[in-house]
Amino acid sequence: MTDPLLALRPWEAPEVTSLGRLPMHAIDRRTGAVRLDGDWRFQLLPAPDAPLTGTWSTAHVPGAWTLQDTGDLPQYTNVRMPFPQFPPQVPAADPTGVYEREVDIPAEWAGRRIVLQVGAAESVLLVHVDGRPVGVSKDSHLAAEFDLSQRVRPGTRSLLRLTVVKWSDASHIEDQDHWWHGGITRSVLLYATDPLHLADVTVRARQDGALRVDCRVRDAGGALPAGWYVSGELDGQPLVQDTEFDRANAADERVSDFLGEARLAATVPEVRTWNAETPELYDLTVRLHRADGTVADTSRHRVGFRDVEIAGRDLLVNGERVYIRGVNRHDFHPLTGRTVGYEDMRADLVLLKRFGFNAIRTSHYPNDPALYDLADELGFYVVDEADIESHDHAHEIADDPRYLNAFVDRVSRMVLRDVNHPSVIIWSLGNESDYGASHDAAAGWVRRHDPTRPLQYEGAAKTGWADPSVASDIACPMYAPLEDCVAHALSGRQTKPLIQCEYSHAMGNSNGTLADHWAAIESTPGLQGGFIWEFWDHGILQRVSDGKPAGRSGAGLYADGVAGPGHRWAYGGDFGEAVHDGAFVADGLVFPDRSPKPAMYEHRELAAPVRIECYRHEGIVLGNHQHFRGLDWLAGEWELALADGRTLTAPAELPDLRPGQTAAVPLPFRLPPDGGEAWLTLRVRTARDEPWAPRGTELCAPQLRLRAPVAAPAAPAAGRPVEVDAEGLLVHPLLTTAPVLSLWRAPTDNDELGGMAERWRAWGLDSLVRKLVSVDRSEGRVRVLAEYAGTVGIVRHRQEFTAVEGGLRVDEQAELPAEFDDVARVGSVFETVAGLNLLEWFGQGPWESYPDRSAGAPVGHHALPVDELFTPYLRPQESGGRHGVRRFTLSAPDATGLAVELDEPRQVSVTRFRAADLTAAAHHDELVPRPGCVVHLDAAHRGLGTASCGPDTSPAHRIAPGIHHWTWTLRTR
């Protein structure tokens, strides 16, 4: 007999979004449910209509089968689809997973309504019980529920089969920048309710304390029984029935015997409002009663009282214009793919909170329900995004009526599920799907159902950021040039808040000019923030031996961003897939193990809640840069870094400041009279335990220079010889290679994808040929002139080595021809003997910093082992640099070694790898550290920018042709 679900072929029918699936609702049924997670019997078929075999394996639920040694591996694409068919067609080879298990139906559920909930399945779900069809669902990132009451018997065992088809018409609108997986990726639950049950509960809680709770009631048996009623309480205080609502509905013909509606109301005096800084929550309990007063159903919610509105070109939360310091976040884990546990989600949000983020865009689909609970509790503004992205075929699909139901279905189900979360302040219609009638239809549904929140959609801006007729209340462009944003805000034509949905791309060594963005945002009315792309590097832990995902067995095989022995972080192409987009999936602010990249510290400082505004005669002026909170929850410590190597500390008493206020506090130290450079830092920490940070967690370190450096030229040492070889290269006992000119860096992802690396290779910067021109010797001094030839130009390089007291001064000059109008760096590179394993420096740190990403690295005295200076970006590239270095030492365990003093703050890097080593490697397991140190001293270093997807660095951070000078002194310790 033909299976009616298979006969329907729902994987090829975009008009069919569900069959037998229950309506979405906002009631959490996880409490008291029977969890069906664990190992299921599993078969992977080559196509949906292929026959089952007699051979079963096991697959863990929840989890993607692509990470469980099933033979079907993950595949990464960004824009293009992984198969060539046009929508709604799919390939004939369509992996289909069949999951089976027996389920014991509790005997105590007799007479109750029994519901199956499948948290998420990618991408089409077919449900059978005891061989009988139940229903179909699409939408890979929202739960599907099915009423099994007529298909199972309490006290007996039933066979549950879940069939998941990987490729479908729906795949064309789930073309998100992520790994393609297949499987059941969120928990499977079985729960029971009374036949008389709460079908939905919608909560409206306003800033003024007004609370409205709308309840929808159904009865599984048909008509509603007479006499039912609803009660509720908020933090133990009873709510009242809204009698005006009851009278209005008494004559409403739309209310049938099969659907009941009731409204509860209250006004909370002296209400504690919710916002991302002080996320105050109340406990709401709603009960459905039978006529005799007994409770038929209960629903519990956490309520935050807040208002969201747009006033002119400002987005307001509780009447305040708030900055959106956001990040885009996928559900991701390096072992389990899209399956993320509660503790992992909490760790994600805790980390973001500690680094100054206050907003999340759920790119590009509704995230796991637990994430919204955590955002409510910890305090995040959420842009909730529908599971719609048709990137490869966006224009064709946007107006395709075959996909109209899918667009409205996905947007409406998201809203129905998440409407009660105070953290959700904006609805998003999806991502990168052009703009068409289907978007307008979905927007119309949202505006009717939930007028309390604005909605946004980036694609709607195609006719202009100020167009009032499009389905976006916010101008939310993607990677718009900063100068364009500022010009729009100053044009007088702006009609909406401008909050970029993506504005800084965190691929590899990136996020340059982040400080420029925030300087503009905070000084330009009309600009209100944005979301960095993205939180995670989506590296999957892979066994090098067989090229397969490590799966759950890989737990513990990584730390500090580095995969353990025999493993590596896989990106596109590493699983043998022919169609892929390489390392573009590794574009996060954290490594796959959630270790923060250096760019996180940049953001932390730019989002600092308290800042040093300036230094006046009356003292240090501090400012409170929060929107709602005072400074009483913070503690501080002053730190004074002096050029002579000393660091002084003193406790700091933070003033009582309301948001936006400033106050002067006395300078905590008396500056020494020697006139050396001095930097004052305020270490700001939590003064008490916060839900997201224990007492003493550092949140920022604002800094101010109190005194500039004073140059002190080294005294010549007459008569001391300077030794160079026949090629004019310096000979020194601690150097294994002499200092030579370097214009090349191992290309960053931004360099490669932005086109700079291709240009540098064409110029021959990676293979400059040195030719000695002349050597001029005099007592205690040697002048060397050399030429470095590329393919299109010649760089004249002069070095002058002068013996000075205790060492050697090196004066260098490089003359770049006009052809080299934007090189990676200009400076010296040399290598040291082995054994110099500790770097101590006075400059910016302790983490990596670059010219256009240095706000988060305070000047001070720092020390790290050389092996910890390198940043292990998933694809090896330029990394490990420190900006603004004045001097450093490299020493062995016995404190011997070398010291370098620079004429002015310079970019310095010390690692175990040459630029050529990094350029040649695709993964870190291919790198072999050198025994000595590779040292770069840069007179100029190009900024990082975000050109892999977005604007390049600013002109101020590019290197012009012409003459560049730098001087440094080398001493032996």
**What DSSP assignment string belongs to 22-35?**
PPP-S----TTPEE
DSSP 239: P
- Sequence-distant (≥ 6) Cβ neighbours of residue 159 within 8 angstroms: 100, 101, 102, 103, 129, 130, 131
Pair 560, 529: CB distance under 8 Å? no
CA distance 816 to 641: 37
- 145 has a pLDDT exceeding 50: yes
At 385, is the pLDDT very low, low, confident or very high (cuts 50, 70, 90)? Answer: very high
- Sequence-distant (≥ 6) Cβ neighbours of residue 125 within 8 angstroms: 118, 136, 137, 138, 144, 162, 163, 164
Check residue 825 and give its pLDDT. 98
Please give the structure tokens belonging to residue 493.
């034509």
| Bridge partner list, 191 | 115
% of the chain at pLDDT higher than 70: 97
- 903 has a pLDDT exceeding 50: yes
CA distance 356 to 326: 9
Coil vs helix vs strand at 944: coil
pLDDT digits (tens, 9 = 90+) for 67-117: 999 999 999 999 999 999 999 999 999 999 999 999 999 999 999 999 999
| The residue type at 316 | L
Angstrom distances, CA of residue 183 to CA of 47, 76, 97, 237, 821: 14, 16, 7, 44, 51
CB atoms within 10 A of CB 802: 21
- 361 has a pLDDT exceeding 90: yes
At 575, is the pLDDT very low, low, confident or very high (cuts 50, 70, 90)? Answer: very high
At 938, is the pLDDT very low, low, confident or very high (cuts 50, 70, 90)? Answer: very high
My answer on whether omega of the bond before 25 falls inside 30° of 0, hence cis, is: no
Coil vs helix vs strand at 651: strand
Mean pLDDT score, 297-324: 98
At 716, is the pLDDT very low, low, confident or very high (cuts 50, 70, 90)? Answer: low
My answer on whether omega of the bond before 133 falls inside 30° of 0, hence cis, is: no
Check residue 718 and give its pLDDT. 61
Mean pLDDT score, 861-879: 97
Task: Give the DSSP H or E segment for 783.
Answer: strand 781-789
Check residue 721 and give its pLDDT. 86
Mean pLDDT score, 720-737: 95
Q: Distance from first CA to last CA of the chain, Å, rounded? A: 87
Sign (positive or negative) of CA dihedral 17, 22, 24, 28: negative
- 909 has a pLDDT exceeding 60: yes
Please give the structure tokens belonging to residue 480.
């718009």
CA distance 800 to 816: 18
My answer on whether omega of the bond before 88 falls inside 30° of 0, hence cis, is: yes
Interior/surface letters 551-587, b for 16+ CB within 10 angstroms, e for the rest: beebeebbeebebeeebbbbbbbbbeeeebbbbbbbb
Coil vs helix vs strand at 149: coil
**Using alpha carbons only, what angle is made at residue 207 by residues 203 and 212, rounded to the nearest 5 degrees?**
25
Check residue 257 and give its pLDDT. 66
Check residue 249 and give its pLDDT. 52
At 713, is the pLDDT very low, low, confident or very high (cuts 50, 70, 90)? Answer: low
Mean pLDDT score, 444-448: 98
Sign (positive or negative) of CA dihedral 908, 649, 654, 687: positive
Pair 783, 929: CB distance under 8 Å? no
For the chain, what percentages of helix, strand and coil (3-state, to nearest 5) are there?
A: 15, 40, 45
- Sequence-distant (≥ 6) Cβ neighbours of residue 341 within 8 angstroms: 333
**At residue 442, what are phi and psi to the nearest 5 degrees?**
-65, -40
Pair 880, 850: CB distance under 8 Å? no
Check residue 250 and give its pLDDT. 47
DSSP states of 467-501: -TTSS-SSB--BS--HHHHHHHHHSS---S-EEES
- Sequence-distant (≥ 6) Cβ neighbours of residue 26 within 8 angstroms: 200, 201, 202, 203, 301, 416, 417, 418, 419, 420
CA distance 471 to 458: 10
Three state DSSP letters for 319-343: CEECCEEEEECCCCECCCECCCCHH
CA distance 139 to 768: 54
Sign (positive or negative) of CA dihedral 338, 344, 349, 354: negative
Check residue 710 and give its pLDDT. 76
pLDDT digits (tens, 9 = 90+) for 773-804: 999 999 889 999 999 999 999 999 999 999 99
pLDDT digits (tens, 9 = 90+) for 659-686: 999 999 999 998 888 878 999 999 999 9
Q: Which residue has the tokens 């400041």?
A: 657
Q: Which residue has the tokens 């100068």?
A: 483
At 253, is the pLDDT very low, low, confident or very high (cuts 50, 70, 90)? Answer: very low
In the predicted model, what is the mean pLDDT of the chain?
95
At 462, is the pLDDT very low, low, confident or very high (cuts 50, 70, 90)? Answer: confident
Angstrom distances, CA of residue 428 to CA of 315, 365, 900: 15, 9, 53
Mean pLDDT score, 8-28: 95
Query: Residue 722's closest CA among 763, 769, 782, 770?
Result: 782
Mean pLDDT score, 352-379: 98
What residues are annotated to the active site? 432, 502
- 517 has a pLDDT exceeding 70: yes
Radius of gyration of the chain (CA): 31
Q: How many helices (H) and strands (E) does the chain have?
A: 13, 56
My answer on whether omega of the bond before 534 falls inside 30° of 0, hence cis, is: yes
How far from chain centre, in Å, is Cα 157? 44
Sheet architecture: strand order including 196-205: 196-205, 210-219, 260-267, 240-241
Please give the structure tokens belonging to residue 972.
């032996």
Query: Residue 568's closest CA among 874, 949, 865?
Result: 874
CA distance 542 to 555: 12
Interior/surface letters 878-890, b for 16+ CB within 10 angstroms, e for the rest: bbbbbbbbbbbbb
| Bridge partner list, 116 | 146, 190
- 235 has a pLDDT exceeding 70: yes
Least confident of 198-207, 294-303, 712-721: 712-721
CA distance 946 to 925: 26
CB atoms within 10 A of CB 830: 23
At 254, is the pLDDT very low, low, confident or very high (cuts 50, 70, 90)? Answer: very low
Task: Give the DSSP H or E segment for 121.
Answer: strand 113-122
Query: Residue 739's closest CA among 809, 829, 827?
Result: 829
- 269 has a pLDDT exceeding 60: yes
- 818 has a pLDDT exceeding 80: yes
CA distance 702 to 724: 45
Axis crossing angle, helix 369-378 with helix 342-354, rounded to the nearest 10: 40
Q: Which residue has the tokens 């002080």?
A: 278
